[in-house]
Amino acid sequence: MNGSPSAEPPLEGEGLRIKQPPKVAAGIPAVLHAMQHAVGKMGPLRAAHTLIALNQTGGFDCPGCAWPDPEHRATAEFCENGAKAVAEEATNKRILPEFFAQHSLAELSRESDHWLGQLGRLTHPMVLLEGSDHYEPISWDGAFSLLADELNRLASPDEAIFYTSGRTSNEAAFLYQLFVRQFGTNNLPDCSNMCHESSGAALGEVLGVGKGTVSLEDFDHADAIFILGQNPGTNHPRMLSTLEAAARRGARIVSINPLEEVALVRFRHPQHPLDLLGSGTPIATLHLPVRINGDVAAMQGIMKAMLDEEERRPGHVFDHEFLREHTSGLDEFLAHLRATSWPAITAASGLTQEEMERAASIAVASRRIIACWAMGLTQHENAVANIQQVTNFLLLGGHIGRPGAGVCPVRGHSNVQGDCTMGIFEKMPDSFLDKLGEEFHFSPPRQHGYDTVNAIRAMHEGRAEVFLGMGGNFLSATPDTQYTAEALRRCRLTAHVSTKLNRSHLITGRQALILPCLGRTEIDRQAGGPQFVTVEDSMSMVHASQGNLAPASEHLRSECAIVAGVARATLGTRSTVDWEALIAGYGRIRDAISRVVDGCENYNTRLGAPGGFRLPNAARERRFLTSTGKARFTVHPMPPFALAPGQLLMMTIRSHDQFNTTIYGLDDRYRGIHNGRRVIFLNTEDLQQLGIEAGQLVDITSHFRGEQRTARQFTAVPYKIPRRCAATYFPEANVLVPISAVAEKSNTPASKSVVISLALSKPSATA
């Protein structure tokens, strides 16, 4: 065996090019890049046939992010990164069993994640037998019985981990959680544990619902839109069309982010010919370059300025009627604001008082405010505090449950919200479990299961021995790469339901399975004929998705059929579910969803409405199902920006050629990076102070409670980023993120605030 497979992507050779970032986003380059990927991977005819159905009624939902579809869809209702996501899945390339016979796992692991992803679609179920380093073909029945044997030999169902990635459809997610609970555990970690779990935890406490309260139409009425810790230009690109329309009608947009992302500076709409010739539409009215994890301070500064104005002109800033009727905890919060000094706020936020006052004046002048956020708020130890500053800010002006106003955590994965709604959550409420038990005549387990971080710990400590992943790239999406790799290697069996090869297939338990599934773009034919599935977007709209391509291989099965196959083989006669009947026609799964999942009554019927249907949201109607029965103000201290000399605070980010752990290409053209990913963005003055020159290779070491982790050979790139702050891409930098560095209450990995130090890479190591 030629050495064990590498858990980390390989170091990069020569070829990195650094250019000036562009001054405007999208436009013709976005069209060209989208076509280059689409035609390059699918060919012109297949590309046209596929993209014409993307995000269309009767078509399929984009496997990219969870930005909603407008009521009136454009002919090309997708963005550059949506086209890339589809091209990745609908590629003409195939990985046949012969490929695995020629390439060992160790050999494959020496290739980059981008290279692995370009190999194409998986076509056959594959098994890695104990002691072997090559996958070999296996029949579906063989795969199901191997998994069943390993699951049934466990001393307890809690020794198994059932992970879900946000691409899984509602129907597959509902069946999966049903199987897992029939098996006897709630170990249902999912990718939202790494992203918006903090939003759910924070909003649940203060608004009584863990989801956003706005609709897409609300953006047509907002006077101001605050965008915190989010880069829509890369991660939710169609949001730019919505922001452009808002900016053009005079709405003020405030971006609060350590990085001034080009897409929030200027945007050329690729589908507005006149736009393509002009200099583009200015988007953000104001950019606040907050330091990493300075959001609590920044928001408290803005609210302190609003309070000053309210005290100058009582009743002109705060919505007193709303505050009286619908909130609790206001006085304690205002006392905290009054007691917090401006010097403390400016020190912790990295902003000037004047900058925060400018943002406050925009808020004061606005009757309807929407606040959007993403990972920049959710991946910190104080993430829940970050988000609850945003709700405090909106509550002061009554901006919840008002048209044109509300909270909008923007989900990064197409159905991550739907999966949780369907029961993919390690601590579902008794009301759900009661209904599930009633519907399927069994007693679901009540003991809470493992989320992602706790699942990794359980595998590492030998408390879990079988891992099944429904989609995703568990190893590369999770923190502390070497620790997670050890955890997976300690399993008896690791199995993945996947469309493409990734690094999680190379870092395995003693045995491993690859279970290749249909993609969103493909026709899903079952006994009852072609089936459609459903998904839920960031704004709680549930709608149908139906592929239009022939499957990439005759051996592929749908996610639902794979779950049913595993369930039948594992549970046998002890199951109370007619799995065959459910997958023969997914309408039966939706009928069961109607009876089990709150808000999903008459699911099949309501899907017939144009665009689908919106799930209920009590906070949107100003019914706050919280401990006080009211929307709650909360008081949180500003986290200190405490770094030792020479240390920096690092955040991991995505490049423009990336979707989560899927690497579409090696460029990040919106930041001037070409043909490379191992870069670290640094403030020019910090570079000088650290004695590092632009372009030099550095090793990054993270520091956490006396522990150190090192990632080697990142190119130092001078960039417009606040002092003592740094940024790198994941998954390359995930090895630096400690498994124990997590957000309070949500247990989300704190990938956006990692304490690091730098050292020049040793010459020998750089040869």
Give residues in contact with ligand SF4 (CB under 6 A). Answer: 55, 62, 64-65, 67, 78-79, 81-82, 85, 236-238
Please, are residues 38 and 47 in contact by the beta-carbon 8 Å criterion? yes
* DSSP codes of every residue in 680-722: EEE-HHHHHHHT--TT-EEEEEEEETTEEEEEEEEEEEE-S--
What is the closest distance, in whole angstroms, from the C-beta atom of residue 84 to ligand SF4 in the complex?
8
Please, are residues 94 and 553 in contact by the beta-carbon 8 Å criterion? yes
Hey, which residues does 649 pair with through a beta bridge?
725, 755
What is the closest distance, in whole angstroms, from the C-beta atom of residue 61 to ligand SF4 in the complex?
8
Candidates 70, 67, 64, 66; CA nearest to 84 is 64
CA angle 413, 61, 43 (to 5 degrees): 105
Closest to ligand SF4 by CB, 34 or 582: 34
Strand 524-526 and strand 529-531: pairing?
antiparallel
Q: How many CB atoms lie within 10 A of CB 613?
A: 20
What is the closest distance, in whole angstroms, from the C-beta atom of residue 533 to ligand SF4 in the complex?
16
Hey, which residues does 725 pair with through a beta bridge?
649
Closest to ligand SF4 by CB, 191 or 680: 191
Closest to ligand SF4 by CB, 21 or 63: 63
Closest to ligand SF4 by CB, 51 or 692: 51
| Cα-based distances in Å from 24 to 37, 262, 269, 316, 351 | 21, 6, 10, 37, 25
CA angle 550, 555, 556 (to 5 degrees): 60
Alpha carbons 481 and 184: distance in angstroms, whole number: 29
What is the closest distance, in whole angstroms, from the C-beta atom of residue 7 to ligand SF4 in the complex?
28
What is the closest distance, in whole angstroms, from the C-beta atom of residue 85 to ligand SF4 in the complex?
6
Closest to ligand SF4 by CB, 236 or 268: 236
Burial label for 647, CB within 10 Å (0-12, 13-18, 19+), is middle
Closest to ligand SF4 by CB, 236 or 492: 236
Q: How many CB atoms lie within 10 A of CB 153?
A: 12
Closest to ligand SF4 by CB, 79 or 737: 79
What is the closest distance, in whole angstroms, from the C-beta atom of residue 65 to ligand SF4 in the complex?
3
What is the closest distance, in whole angstroms, from the C-beta atom of residue 331 to ligand SF4 in the complex?
42
Question: What stretches of 569-684 adopt beta strand conformation (E)?
Answer: 613-614, 631-632, 648-653, 658-659, 662-663, 673-674, 679-682
* DSSP codes of every residue in 556-575: -B-HHHHHHHHHHHHHGGG-
What is the closest distance, in whole angstroms, from the C-beta atom of residue 240 to ligand SF4 in the complex?
9
Alpha carbons 453 and 516: distance in angstroms, whole number: 26
What is the closest distance, in whole angstroms, from the C-beta atom of residue 235 to ligand SF4 in the complex?
8
Reported as type and span, the H/E element at residue 606 is helix 603-606
What is the closest distance, in whole angstroms, from the C-beta atom of residue 77 to ligand SF4 in the complex?
7
Closest to ligand SF4 by CB, 78 or 432: 78
Alpha carbons 437 and 428: distance in angstroms, whole number: 13
Alpha carbons 479 and 472: distance in angstroms, whole number: 14
Determine phi and psi for 152, rounding to 5 degrees. Answer: -75, -10
Closest to ligand SF4 by CB, 425 or 659: 659
| Cα-based distances in Å from 445 to 89, 178, 448, 574, 746 | 36, 11, 8, 15, 22
What is the closest distance, in whole angstroms, from the C-beta atom of residue 536 to ligand SF4 in the complex?
13
Please, are residues 435 and 443 in contact by the beta-carbon 8 Å criterion? no
Residue 538, both tokens: 């960031």
Closest to ligand SF4 by CB, 64 or 423: 64
Query: Closest-CB residue for ligand SF4?
Result: 82
Hey, which residues does 468 pair with through a beta bridge?
162, 495
State the number of CA atoms in the 13 A half-sphere of 509 facing the CB. 26
Closest to ligand SF4 by CB, 91 or 388: 91
Closest to ligand SF4 by CB, 62 or 459: 62
Closest to ligand SF4 by CB, 167 or 399: 167
Closest to ligand SF4 by CB, 169 or 386: 169
What is the closest distance, in whole angstroms, from the C-beta atom of residue 232 to ligand SF4 in the complex?
8
Print the SS3 string covering 91-143: CCCEECHHHHHHCCHHHHHCCCHHHHHCCCEECCCEEECCCCCCCEECCHHHH
What is the closest distance, in whole angstroms, from the C-beta atom of residue 211 to ligand SF4 in the complex?
17
What is the closest distance, in whole angstroms, from the C-beta atom of residue 414 to ligand SF4 in the complex?
6
